[in-house]
Amino acid sequence: MREPSAVFVQSGDDLIAAGRHDLTWSAAGVEVGWNDGTVDVTADTVIRVALRWSTALPADALILGDAWERSYGDLQWRHQQPERLLPWYFLAHDPKTGRTTGAGVEVQPNAFAAWTVDGDGFTLWLDLRNGGGPTKLSGRTLQAATVKAFEDAGSPWQTLNAAVATMSSRLPARPEPAPVVGANNWYYAYGENFDEKAVLTDAATIVELADGHPVKPFSVVDDGWYPGGIASGGPWDQGIPGVFDDLAGTAASIAAIGARPGLWFRPLLTREAGRYGRPGPHDKPGRALDPSYPEVLELVRADLTRFKDWGFELVKHDFSTYDVFGAFGPAMGSRLTESGWQLHDPSRTTAEIILAFYREIRDAAQDVVLIGCNTVGHLAAGLVDVQRTGDDTSGRDWERTRKMGVNTLAFRLPQHGRFFTVDADCVPCTPQTPWELNERFLDLVARSGTALFLSIDPAARMERTDRALRAGIRLALDGGDAGGIEPTDWLVNTTPTAWRSGGNTVNYDWSRPWGVDPVS
């Protein structure tokens, strides 16, 4: 990646053009260095740095970016839109020449990085704030991000795959994970009216449908197992009295059935009063915890140790981006959070603090399989085993599954096996949603080799559903289609219907519950 054409810095109210000397730019007490793509920032206080490259793009270029955390059915190739924020990386496809190029930052940066693209070039925006205020580096030099350029690799799909590989090339090698397949009760129970008996029924169902496969499936106890109500926060030391009196016993019973027990929790929210609360915006019940306190990290470590001691082999940690910023991805935008508040430790950027939080969870979990949900994908890469890459599917509204599940699988599938195992969220099997459409989503996810979780309402089981579930689960436990899958109409369709799989073209009608075998 060549050096930028111009650099701008912000330590107060305004973004100021920086003067250049060799490969260093400085203004307003902020110094920005460029070292073969690595951006170093030295300052007393800093808010943002912007790096600009003046490179004309074709007027009809199609542009693609990523998402801060989960995507929300909003990923797509789109014509130039200068104000459109493109988190982490972007690709530009020239429909005339067929070439696709772009740029991005390596995973685990110390800044929130996003791009904007216009007809005259592109800009990298590095948000170096602490909460909603400046970070007090006090003269420290921060390695903010490492920038990578992406050359055309043959097609837009191949280029995105090569780009993701480039951005994750420095991650330490991890053992090849076994296929992640299992039951999750959320999309028929929705955190209510379930007990240990229902959890064990889920475990028995997934084991039955796995039909003796040598790879054991998981059975996850999702939100609703603890006192306080749905998503209300910890402490995470007991289940609902009279419903989940013995979580270690529940985990042991799941394992005895033949599944691997999993558990959901929300690490940065508590129902208890006390210290270590985060002062910024938060409109949910409970008290958000500030992960820049060492004591909060110790609390989270104790939670992970407890779950492991109870016998859970998978832990899903959720809501931490919301609990840090007070907003979900679409509302974060370029501001990320409201101005005027800061985390307890103002000497580190929010990105640094979140990275330390993820690393603490990873270290505490040891060999427990970690799922990150509402976690920042580019920061969590290499620190979670599985990442929920899209917002919730639904056991009540098929359209939500189409919008969220199909979109995230199509546009973030290249991250699979490189950043983490991709999880496009659960395939529902419920009386409220058309099985004919859920079955197609099941087939797609199973072929992809990504994580496959299923919410199977016992009331929806019948011979037809069981037959399809058994086939999909076994295909997923085998690792999916050995040749991989690829959306072939993703340049023009936010929920692609045409996919290449094992040398065949597979067409999915996501709109109508009728139809025949999709393979043509």
What CATH number has the domain spanning 181-482? 3.20.20.70
- Per-residue pLDDT reduced to its tens digit, 35-63: 999 999 999 999 999 999 999 999 999 99
Residues 233-256: tens digit of each pLDDT = 999 999 999 999 999 999 999 999
Give the separation between CA 13 and CA 273, rounded to whole angstroms.
35
How many whole angstroms from its chain centre is CA 449? 17
What is the Cα–Cα distance from 301 to 459, expressed in whole angstroms?
A: 38
Tell me the mean pLDDT in the region 200-218.
Answer: 97
Say if residue 235 is preceded by a cis peptide, omega within 30 of 0.
Answer: yes
Which tens digit of pLDDT belongs to each residue from 357-375?
A: 999 999 999 999 999 999 9
**Pairing outcome for strands 181-184 and 452-456:** parallel
Residue 520 pLDDT class (50, 70, 90 cuts): very low
In the chain, where are the structural domains located?
Answer: 6-167, 181-482
pLDDT at 176 over 80: no
Q: Match 């902020």 to its residue by tokens.
A: 30
pLDDT band at residue 274 using 50, 70 and 90 as cut-offs: confident
pTM of the predicted model, to two decimals? Answer: 0.96
Lowest mean pLDDT among 13-17, 231-235, 514-518: 514-518
Return the bridge partners of 31, or none: 26, 42
Residue 193's pLDDT band (cuts 50, 70, 90): confident
> Does residue 286 surpass a pLDDT of 90?
no
Q: Edge-to-edge strand order for the sheet containing 218-221?
A: 421-423, 386-388, 369-372, 314-317, 260-265, 218-221, 181-184, 452-456, 427-429
For range 286-300, the mean pLDDT: 96
The three-class DSSP label of residue 119 is: coil
